[in-house]
């Protein structure tokens, strides 16, 4: 019962490099989302998706791109990493929108930008 | 404007006492949901309790209950008989919107310390 799987768990990048954070879920959840967690800031929503082919911006979308070609996968792309993007990133999924079902979270990706 | 406000950055509570963690929210939607999550030092997010905007009864889950005051737009988490293992970060979250346009946002959290 894998749930939400995030890879990698840790990553160090240099400023200007690009990378993709992977997120996959095996629960057939329509709703998926990406958050970043910074000290004192809680979890801030980056992008979310209510189904395959549909994505939308959250609270802090600048510097990040997403796509949702399948129900299972929701990768987060950093096109040109900046030190301000150093953070812990969480991917989450939940059943159909407007639901009382909680989100299932991945274990997080700790990303450092030098 | 901040939509989820948790006004207590940190709290210290004696073991076995009850504790209330505050959460106020702002939305113009009639249909919304409120969640509380716990994040221990290990980092995983653990779902605790849910309250729907149309639920007439306050939600309860074991030692957790939610004091939902709709008119005041508050959804405080109450932990009865606190335990050392309750020491963690606690987040309030709101799901608003509807159908295919909803999103879930979080407050900044409250760090709870249970003292022996």
- The Cα A10–Cα B53 span in angstroms is 38
Whether B32 and B96 have beta carbons less than 8 Å apart is answered as: yes
- Across the interface, which of B98, B100, B107 has its CB nearest the CB of A51? B100
| For residue B56, pLDDT beyond 90 | no
Enumerate chain B positions whose Cβ falls within 8 A of a Cβ in A.
4, 6, 9, 31, 33, 35, 37, 43-45, 47, 50, 52, 91, 93, 95, 97-109
At A6-44, the pLDDT tens digits run: 999 999 999 999 999 999 999 999 999 999 999 888 999
Judge: A98–B99 Cβ closer than 8 Å, yes or no. Answer: yes
Return the residue in A44, A102, A105, A109 with the most chain B beta carbons within 10 A, the one to mutate for interface testing. A102
Tally the residues of chain A: 114
Instruction: Outline where B1-116 has alpha helix (H).
Output: none
pLDDT of B98 higher than 70 = no
What percentage of chain B has pLDDT greater than the value 90?
Answer: 82
Which residue among A42, A98, A102 places its CB closest to the CB of B109?
A42
Helices vs strands, H then E, count in chain A:
0, 11
**pLDDT computed for residue B103 by the predictor:** 85
């Amino acid at each position: 019962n894998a749930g939400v799987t995030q890879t990698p768990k840790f990553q160090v990048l240099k400023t200007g490099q690009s990378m993709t954070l992977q997120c996959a879920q095996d629960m057939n959840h329509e709703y998926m989302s990406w958050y970043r967690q910074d000290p004192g800031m809680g979890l801030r929503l980056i992008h979310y998706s209510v189904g395959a082919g549909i994505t939308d911006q959250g609270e802090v979308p600048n510097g990040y791109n997403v796509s949702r070609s399948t129900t299972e996968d929701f990768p987060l792309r950093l096109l040109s990493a900046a030190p301000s993007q150093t953070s812990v990133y969480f991917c989450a999924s939940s059943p159909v929108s407007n639901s009382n079902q909680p989100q299932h979270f991945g274990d997080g990706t700790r990303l450092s930008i030098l | 404007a901040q939509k989820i406000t948790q006004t207590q950055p940190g709290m210290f509570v004696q073991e076995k006492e009850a504790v209330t963690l505050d959460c106020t929210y702002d939305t113009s939607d009639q249909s919304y949901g409120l969640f509380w999550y716990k994040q221990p030092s290990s980092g995983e997010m653990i779902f605790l309790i849910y309250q729907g905007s149309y639920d007439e009864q306050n939600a309860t889950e074991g030692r957790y209950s939610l004091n939902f005051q709709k008119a005041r737009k508050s959804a405080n988490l109450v932990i009865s008989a606190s335990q050392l293992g309750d020491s963690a970060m606690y987040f309030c979250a709101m799901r608003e919107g509807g159908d295919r346009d909803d999103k879930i946002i979080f407050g900044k959290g409250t760090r709870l310390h249970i003292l022996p």
